[in-house]
Structure 1
Amino acid sequence: MFLPLLQDAGNLRGKRVLLRLDLDLSVENGVPRDTFRLERAGRTLRFLKERGARTLIIGHIGRKREETLQPVFEQVQRIVPAEFAATLVEAKAKMSNAQNGGFVMLENVRSFLGETENDPSFARELAALADVYVNEAFAVSHREHASIVGIPPLLKSFAGFTFTEEVEHLSRVFSPAHPALLVLGGAKFETKIPIIERFLTIADTIYIGGALANDIYRARGYEVGVSLVSDFTINQALLDNSKLHVPSDVIVHTASENIEKSADNVGKTEKIVDAGSGALADVRALVGKAAFVIWNGPLGLYEEGFDAGTIALAQALAECDAETIIGGGDSIVVVSKLGLLPRFSFVSTGGGAMLEFLAKQTLPGIAALLKK
């Protein structure tokens, strides 16, 4: 796959660059909780500054139009000096006055009508503010939004440094060293089935944890109590595949305590919240034998505080000799808190985008750049 690369964009001095970043950081009490994705964009930001481009940064935060990028803007200013624009009119004015190497950052692009609808007229409004477009938002490039797929047909377009690294490293997954292990956690089985089915022919073992495993337990006739499950029917051929593994024991939450139980012994009023000690021993053994490991998603209900299984998996992967590629918001937060990010071969900024790329070997944002 030969992406148009930012370093091949030619002379950028004085050029207006529209830079799509992934700015969807988790904010608590007005302060971004994890700046990993923004820090990864630092190389592209510094490159544009050094090349004398006049850059308009666009991105989104959250799912509500009223959410603001102001807290994230303060983090951007720690990397490069920038001005903030609340409207397109203000952005145009500030871009006109920007010095070579300067930056303007637009308010939450999803606060504007037309972004999520991929409205061609909104794409033209954005494109009119620049001469060159750069996609440095791999994590949202599975979305067919105006700032991802609507602009490339209108401007000279390039992939940023991190975007390019994502495609290069994740493409290694399609021809991995063996034994190859895929570990999937989280929820929504219906969104994971494409990658599971594809990796049945690539990986030697697929380990399914988190709420995804609950769907397999239920399909096998196990009681899952009040555990989180999907409205999805798993076919028998998948259930019978010898490559597919799930936790042999689990931690269940009851009205009064958390108990470790065999996965086939869950009560009707109990809720599965994490992998058990036997399951963690099994996954450590699989990791120890593997030459290549891909991991996306927590093994427990991380958002509810059940993170022991996910932490144990992160530590096992950090200590192993295999090539390790990980992604997914919760997985990255855990690894970051543990200070283990440098111990992995590659950490993807994508969650859903990573999964879609691994399932389809492309994304709408990639296709838009390649068509251009």
Structure 2
Amino acid sequence: MREGIHSVREAPVAGKRVLLRVDFNVPLDTARGAPRVANDLRIRSALPTLELLHKNGAAKIIILTDIGRPGGKVVEGLRVAPIAEHLHTLTSVPFEMEENLRFDPGEESNSAEYAQKLAALGDLYVNEAFANSHRSHASMVALSALLPSYAGLRFEEEIERLSAALTPPPGAIALIGGAKFETKEPLITKLLSLYAQVLLGGALANDVIKARGLPFGSSLISTLPVPTEVATNEHLVVPTDAIFAEEGSNAERLGLVFDIRANESIIDIGPETSKKWSTVITQAPFVLWNGPMGVYERGYRDGTEALASALSASGTRAVVGGGDTAAAVEKYTFDAEKVFISTGGGAMLEFLVRGTLPAIDALRQH
């Protein structure tokens, strides 16, 4: 038991029907016809728990997951079949997989009635869906009150590793990228109180650049201003050079951040920033990283991948989260004992702010 949460290691599963809640809400590639799993990090992360349940004699393992946002109705392209097929290629453990939980509106409304229907399928419940644990959904919260409930192996490790990130050693640094400063401001404020430096990339950096009175061109900016006490914090670091792109054009230009033109947007950190930050990563005792440094979804990945390469080569202990960031780090060989890739995106960020999540609280109570 950890902090009032029962572990799957102590679950009496022999001869029992086990409901295993996972988060297999993974990207599907439909470019070549039938949907295929494009990134299976979350699927692979659940394998140790699945195999432990089988080893300990579970009579039946029933997997529960959601996929996409079907809005409480059946969407053919969001069925679980391709996920189940992929899982069969990774393990010989027998399992059943219920259809996409979000096909029922009761899932997202945390319906007690829907939770009762799910509970009738099993004798005990194991939560291995850390990445979904910030959502108060029926299979995450209400269900755990109806059956003996346990945390999966990866779920436990997520709590342990992220809790450690809240007590970093002196000199630790945080890298935060992505967009929507207004949603990440509580996290950035907290990290500034814990870490020696917080390095900002992506659109988050644009907001601080603007708040510091520097030109930002046509770069993506959040709707709310950055609080002055955050923008002026000397431990909050933004890029010194960047890659610019003109609006409506594929033309790109490298320059110092303050040299941006009115019709240009910042699309990635520049090579000088990449070099400086790579050195900082190499010298730090610990790194927390969530979010890409550039417009990753449009292919501007050089900055993110340069830092991922530096992290992988450095041997620095780190916790990495967010789909794009994790994908970048996984391209390189790294020491899995030192670099932990969290399956959580929003769940990771919320845990770092609050120190807990709705599904964690539900497991503690039951």
User: Which range, TM-score by smaller chain?
Assistant: over 0.9
State the shift of 1:336 in Å: 2.1
The AA in structure 2 aligned to 1:27 is L
Partner of 1:91: none
Point out where structure 1 has 5 or more consecutive residues left out of the alignment.
82-100
Sequence identity (%): 40
State the shift of 1:22 in Å: 1.0
Point out where structure 2 has 5 or more consecutive residues left out of the alignment.
none
The match for 2:298 among 304, 310, 333 is 304
State the shift of 1:344 in Å: 4.6
User: 2: distance between equivalents of 1:79 and 1:131?
Assistant: 26
The match for 1:43 among 33, 48, 56 is 48
Cα gap change, 1:321 to 1:177, in 2 (>3 Å):
farther
The match for 2:362 among 359, 368, 371 is 368
User: 2: distance between equivalents of 1:343 and 1:129?
Assistant: 37
Partner of 2:226: 234
State the shift of 1:281 in Å: 2.0
State the shift of 1:194 in Å: 1.5
User: 1: distance between equivalents of 2:330 and 2:339?
Assistant: 14
Partner of 1:249: 241
User: 1: distance between equivalents of 2:52 and 2:168?
Assistant: 32
The AA in structure 1 aligned to 2:95 is F
RMSD of aligned residue pairs (Cα, Å): 1.6
Partner of 1:287: 281
Cα gap change, 1:133 to 1:256, in 2 (>3 Å):
closer
Partner of 1:132: 124
Q: Is the 8 Å Cα contact of residues 150 and 363 (structure 2) preserved in structure 1?
A: yes
Partner of 1:313: 307
User: 2: distance between equivalents of 1:64 and 1:216?
Assistant: 36
The match for 1:145 among 134, 137, 160 is 137
State the shift of 1:321 in Å: 3.8
For structure 1, which segment, 186-195 or 215-224, has the greater mean C-alpha deviation from structure 2 after superposition?
215-224
Mapping 1:15-30, distance limit 5 Å: 15-29=16-30, 30=35
User: 2: distance between equivalents of 1:232 and 1:178?
Assistant: 32
The AA in structure 2 aligned to 1:31 is R
Mapping 1:159-308, distance limit 5 Å: 159-254=151-246, 255-308=249-302
The AA in structure 2 aligned to 1:70 is A
State the shift of 1:345 in Å: 2.3
Q: In structure 2, the residue corresponding to 1:242 is in which secondary structure?
A: coil
State the shift of 1:220 in Å: 2.0
Q: Is the 8 Å Cα contact of residues 291 and 321 (structure 1) preserved in structure 2?
A: no
For structure 1, which segment, 247-256 or 133-142, has the greater mean C-alpha deviation from structure 2 after superposition?
247-256
Q: In structure 1, the residue corresponding to 2:89 is in which secondary structure?
A: coil
User: 2: distance between equivalents of 1:149 and 1:229?
Assistant: 35
Tell me the TM-score normalised to structure 2 length: 0.92
User: 2: distance between equivalents of 1:24 and 1:285?
Assistant: 35
Residue by residue, what CA displacement relative to the aligned partner does 1:300-320 show, whole Å, maximum 9, x if unpaired? 011000000000010111122
